[in-house]
Each structure stands twice: as structure tokens, then as C-alpha cells.
Amino acid sequence: MANTWKWTPDSKLCFVTTGATAPFTALIEAVLHPSVLHTLAENGYTHLLVQYGSAKDVYEKAAIAGQAHFDQTGTTAGLIVDGIDFNKDGLQAQFSLVRQSKGLVISHAGT
């Protein structure tokens, strides 16, 4: 994750957490939509990390579609998009990176 991100003091992280029990596929698809990716990049975000849980297939499909949009338009080429599974040990490292970068956390509202 972060060790392959080319993290700098100017990096800014948006972390999307979808919880442990439900995959919240609509949230995953929404944050990987080209309009959201463009908005993040436009507002100085350099990294998007999506916790996809049991919906890795949804994440991968949406991430590929978002990347295809980048390749065609070149508008958000600097945004690094990555995904992680649910971590039973918690999300302290991710929240720390968000705090450090003065970033943003997007979370589901529960079932």
C-alpha cells in the first residue's frame, strides 16, 4: 500500500471504508466513477484508497473503468487509486495517513 505510493509531504489521501459485514457495492462504484475521481484530483487529492471488503470484483471492475477514463482524457493522471480488503486488526494506519495528509474519510452509514 503506502510503500508503493510515492508518498510525499504534499500527498493527500481520500480513504473510503465500507465496513466488515456488507460490501456496500454502490459506494465502491460511486467513488470510482470518473466524475468523483476527477473531482478528487481537481481538489488536490493524490491518493484514493478503497476498502472493498468482500466486493473485490466490484472494486476491480469499477477501478478498471475509472482508469480507462483517465487514459482517454488524461485529466486525473496523478491520482493513485488502490484498494484493500477488510483488515480485522483495524484501520489505524489508514486513518493516520488521512490525518497526516489533511485528507478525507468517506464511510458508509451502516446497514
Alpha helices in 22-111 (DSSP H): 25-31, 34-42, 56-73, 92-100
18-28: per-residue pLDDT in tens? 876 777 899 99
Q: Please determine, for residue 45, whether its predicted confidence score (pLDDT) is greater than 90.
A: yes
61-99: per-residue pLDDT in tens? 999 988 777 666 655 567 889 988 887 777 777 888 878
Say which residues have a Cβ less than 8 Å from residue 95's Cβ, sequence separation at least 6: 15, 105
The structural architecture, per CATH, of the domain 9-106 is: 3-Layer(aba) Sandwich (3.40)
Q: The whole model's pTM is what? A: 0.84
| Sequence ranges of the domains in the chain | 9-106
The confidence score (pLDDT) of residue 58 equals 93
The answer to whether 62 and 27 have CB atoms below 8 angstroms apart is no
